[in-house]
Amino acid sequence: MTQPDQQVVVPVLDGEDPWTDEELAEVREDLVFDIKRMQRAIATAERDLAKLFDEGTEGAGRDPADVGSTNFERDQEMSLVQNARDLLDQAQTALRLFDTGHYGTCEACGEPIGKDRLMVFPRATMCVSCKQREERR
Ligand SMILES: [Zn+2]
């Protein structure tokens, strides 16, 4: 008995062309690239954050305006890190789905996410309507 090639089949929506190997390779590359970029961004932001915390603690008796701006920078830096972590998490989840052959299926409703959407947002793990419903919550 001959087995068909063990190939990742990523579903598409009605009317979309099936994925080509090149397109799939591109999407995977995007995910890997995103993960690396996010890890770098987080490392940089955490270094900056550590510096800001240092400045914040040694600054007893400093001008309150300075303390205020350090706090502001710190908050900004922290939301940046949080944001990057979320994106990293999404990209890692998508890559894991890709490598286990579950990529491209909406995690909420089980329908195909759609090729057009994944080409633009390789990190997407939900179809457009589920995503919109989630965001409205
Ligand atoms: Zn869905």
* Backbone dihedral angles phi then psi of residue 102, each to the nearest 5 degrees: -110, 10
How much distance in Å is there from the Cα of 1 to the middle of ligand 1?
A: 37
Mean pLDDT, residues 19-36 taken together: 96
How much distance in Å is there from the Cα of 108 to the middle of ligand 1?
A: 5
Q: Which pLDDT score is estimated for 4?
A: 47
CA distance linking residue 62 with residue 56, whole number of Å: 9
How much distance in Å is there from the Cα of 86 to the middle of ligand 1?
A: 20
Q: Where are the domains of the chain?
A: 21-102
Confidence of residue 65 (pLDDT cuts 50, 70, 90): confident
How much distance in Å is there from the Cα of 133 to the middle of ligand 1?
A: 9
How much distance in Å is there from the Cα of 11 to the middle of ligand 1?
A: 13
Half-sphere exposure for 47 (CA within 13 Å, toward CB): 5
Tokens of 121: 């947002």
pLDDT tens for each residue of 83-111: 999 999 999 999 999 999 999 999 999 99
DSSP 59: -
Residue 114 contacts residue 79 (beta carbons within 8 Å): no
How much distance in Å is there from the Cα of 136 to the middle of ligand 1?
A: 14
CA distance linking residue 17 with residue 15, whole number of Å: 7
How much distance in Å is there from the Cα of 130 to the middle of ligand 1?
A: 4
CA distance linking residue 38 with residue 32, whole number of Å: 10
Percent pLDDT > 70 in the chain is 89
Closest CA to 77 of 55, 37, 44: 44
Tokens of 11: 């579903």
Q: Which pLDDT score is estimated for 53?
A: 82
112: helix, coil or strand?
strand
How much distance in Å is there from the Cα of 129 to the middle of ligand 1?
A: 6
The answer, yes or no, to whether residue 3 has pLDDT greater than 50, is: no
pLDDT tens for each residue of 36-58: 999 999 999 999 889 888 876 66
